[in-house]
Amino acid sequence: MTLGHPFVDLGTFPTHTCGKGTVRWRITGSSHAATPWWFSNSGDGRFDLNRHSGHGTCYLADSPLGCLLETIWRDAVPTGDPNLFPPIAPSEVAALRAVQVEVPSDHRCADVTGEGTTQLHTSFGITDAVGTCDSYLIPQEWAGAWHAQHFGGVAYRLSHGTGLVGWALFGEEGGRGLPAVTIHLIDDELLTHDGIRIEMAPSMAELAVVDDQAAALRILTTEAKPSPRLDH
């Protein structure tokens, strides 16, 4: 089934409210961690609104893992094992923070998670591809159509994590002065929030320089550490 364009009336589209006071997660730069809310219309996000609309989209997830899958692990090399997560290099996350934010008001979101009983494709021409396709052109069309119908955002399945839900909330473009609830370094302690453990990859300064090919092969075959695994 092909993802269609939003040409039908969306007045009866299923909704899922991201309620006032709900706590969600977001990844942001360390310099913005204290006030992490930002509504973007740059066109780089899946459900970004038109940059001339004066409104933008802020992306949240239910857990730190959801944020990492959509950012740091977005283009990670597959491990070949569903119970293995790629290592994280400290240099990748040194300038980033995972923050919890409290949603300041109710957002009535278009629900494309597929959890309801409405057949979204036959009713509205929409498929799971709206949250997973590589091109953002059609998802952004849908975002504009939902926003025009006064929806407050989109609840959708994250493309890099089966069963995980993301939230694309609409609001006036730019930042907010709203403070973060908590601010976290992206490390093993953070990831235990989702019940997983993962080792940070060694930095270049920690790696030994080996000129001899035979010695390098011996190190790789006898001293290599196993990849990080899920605890459960």
pLDDT in tens, 160-199: 766 789 999 999 999 999 999 999 998 877 776 666 655 5
pTM given for the model: 0.82
Helix (H, G, I), strand (E, B) or coil at 160: coil
3-state SS, 127-173, equals: CHHHHCCCCCHHHHHHHHHHHHCCCCEEEEECCCCCCCEEEEEEEEC
Confirm if 47 and 168 have CB atoms less than 8 A apart. yes
pLDDT in tens, 203-223: 545 444 445 555 545 544 544
DSSP 221: H
